[in-house]
Amino acid sequence: MSWLDYPFFVKGLVAALIAAPLLGVLSHLVVARRLAFLSTALGQAALTGLTLGLALGDPIEAAHGGMLGFCLLCALAMVWVKRRAALPTDTLIGVFVSFTLGLGICLLVAVTQRFNIHQIEGLMFGSLITVSARDLWLLGAVAVAVGLVLSRSYNDLLLDSVAPPLARAAGVRGAWLDYLFVVLLTLSIVLSLKILGALLVEALVVIPAAAGRNVARTLRGHVLASVAVALVASVGGLSLSMRFLVPSGGAVVLALAALFGLTFVVGRRARRGADRPS
C-alpha cells in the first residue's frame, strides 16, 4: 500500500510542506541575527509549557495553550533581559534554558501521575501520528501571518541583523523588531513540534541556513537554498521515518545533516574551481 493511503502520513506530509518553507525562511534571519541558540531554548520551553498546561488541565491532544503561552512569555522575557543586560546573548539564553528545563523536570513528575510518559514522547521526538487537522489549520494560519509580516518588515529585519548602527540611522526601530521576530519564531516553532519534536526542532531552524550558505552567492540565493534544503529534508525525513519506523524528528535531522554535508562538498569544489586560474 502506498504511504499516501495512510491519513496520518498525508497530514504529516502537509504539515511538513507548510513548516519547511516557513522555518527555512526564518532560518536565514535566525542565523543573521545570531539567535541559533534561541531555538533550542524555545524547544525546551515548549516541553515545559506542555507539562505546565497538562498540569493545569489542558487536554493531551490539544495542549497548544500551555506551550504557546509559556514559550511566548519566555521569548519576550529573553529579549527584554537581553536589551538591558551586559552579558552575551548566548549566556542569557543559557540561563533561560536551565530554568525552563529544571521547571519542566519538576512538573513532569506531576504530569506522569495523570498521563503515561509515552503520550508526550511524540512531542519530544516528533511523530506523524499525533498531527491533527487542527494542527494543520493553526500551522497554515501562522504561515500566512508570518508571510504577510515578512513581506512588510523583511528589509528592516535584515538591515537590523547585519548592520544595527546603520538600521538605527535609517530610523529602524530595533527593539520593536526584536520582539516581533521572536514572536514569529516562537509561533512557528511551537506549531511545528509535532513533526520535529521539542528536542530536535532547532535543527530545522539552523541547518537550512547553514547549508544554503555553503552554495549560495547572493542573498536571494541564500534564502531560496535554505527553503529548498528544508523542504527536501522534511519530505525525505518523513519518508525515512515511514520506511524504517523511526521518529520523524530524528529522520528529518539526519536528512538535514546529509544535505549540509553535500552542500559543503559542492560549495567547496565550486570555490576551488572559481579560484583556479584560467
Owner of C-alpha cell 569544489? 269
In a domain, 224, yes or no: no
Q: How many residues does the chain have?
A: 278
In a domain, 253, yes or no: no
pLDDT at 61: 66
Are 67 and 48 a contacting pair, CB within 8 Å? no
In a domain, 269, yes or no: no
Take residue 4 and report the three cell numbers written for it.
Answer: 499516501
In a domain, 207, yes or no: no
In a domain, 241, yes or no: no
pLDDT at 124: 66
Are 214 and 264 a contacting pair, CB within 8 Å? yes
Report the C-alpha gap between 34 and 116 in whole angstroms.
38
Surface-to-core class of residue 235, CB atoms within 10 Å of its CB (0-12 exposed, 13-18 middle, 19+ buried): middle
**Long-range pairs, 121-124, Cβ under 8 A, ≥24:** 122/194, 122/197, 123/46, 123/47, 123/50, 123/193, 123/194, 123/197, 123/198, 124/47, 124/197, 124/198, 124/199
Over the stretch 169-198, which tens digit does the pLDDT of each residue have? 888 888 899 999 999 999 998 888 777 777
Average pLDDT of span 199-214: 86
In a domain, 190, yes or no: yes
Over the stretch 18-66, which tens digit does the pLDDT of each residue have? 988 999 899 889 988 888 888 878 888 887 888 887 777 777 666 678 8
Confidence of residue 260 (pLDDT cuts 50, 70, 90): very high
Average predicted confidence (pLDDT) for the chain = 84
Are 16 and 3 a contacting pair, CB within 8 Å? no
Are 227 and 208 a contacting pair, CB within 8 Å? yes
Structure-model confidence comparison of residues 91 and 276, the more confident one = 91
Tell whether the model's pLDDT for residue 253 goes beyond 70.
yes
Tell whether the model's pLDDT for residue 1 goes beyond 60.
no
In a domain, 101, yes or no: yes
pLDDT at 133: 85
In a domain, 234, yes or no: no
* Tally of domains in the chain: 1
The CATH number for 187's domain is 1.10.3470.10
pLDDT at 199: 66
> In which domain, by residue range, is 118 found?
3-199
